Amino acid sequence: MKTTLIVVGRTVDKNLIAAIDDYTGRIKHFAPFDIEVIPELKNARKLSEAQQKEAEADLILKSILPGDTVILLDEGGKEFRSTEFAAWIEKKQQITAKRVVFIVGGPYGFSQRIYNLASEKISLSRMTFSHQMIRLLFVEQLYRAYTIINHLPYHHE
């Protein structure tokens, strides 16, 4: 199973970039993983929230391939404990031959077209974090999941 994280907008904080790269490298020891960055909208300030979401949806849809399992990282999604998330990833590995795509939305959430495409919504926290930090939270948690699945001493319960 390959996992892709689709994010809108480049990470600009060089410390966060380095921390995200660190976990990305560690995840790749366990399974194929990449982060696909959709460029931020150039004219975002001239668009309404709804228009921004639709324009982002157009770009996101170009990155989705037939057969992808699409999971949204969304405030309204299901919250997992780390061990539950690891069990969920392990199950996905067993039933998914193709790609699992996680998508981080922009500040206003997703277009309805993206919600329609998704099979599940996951929330990393009830709190809102910057889109750059959400990426770091996700890669740390995916790395943690693989260490739990592989019985490595990273996670303490």
Which residue lies nearer to its own copies by CB, 15 or 119?
A: 15
Please list every residue from 101 through 140 that binds its own copies, using CB under 8 A: 107-108, 124-130, 133, 136-137, 140
**Nearest C-alpha neighbor of 60 from the set 129, 116, 122, 13:** 116
- Residue 151 binds to its own copies (criterion: CB under 8 A): no
With tokens 């001493």, the residue in question is 153
Helices (H), 32-101: 49-63, 82-95
The set of long-range contacts for 64-67, using a CB threshold of 8 Å and a minimum separation of 24, is 64/101, 64/117, 65/98, 65/99, 67/98, 67/99
How many residues sit in the footprint of its own copies (CB under 8 A)?
A: 29
**Is residue 80 involved in binding its own copies (CB under 8 A)?**
yes
Q: Which is nearer to its own copies, 63 or 75 (CB)?
A: 75
Beta bridge partners of 65: none
Does residue number 68 form part of the binding site for its own copies (CB under 8 A)?
A: no
Q: Site residues (CB under 8 A) for its own copies? A: 13, 15-16, 18-19, 22, 79-82, 85, 107-108, 124-130, 133, 136-137, 140-141, 144, 155-157
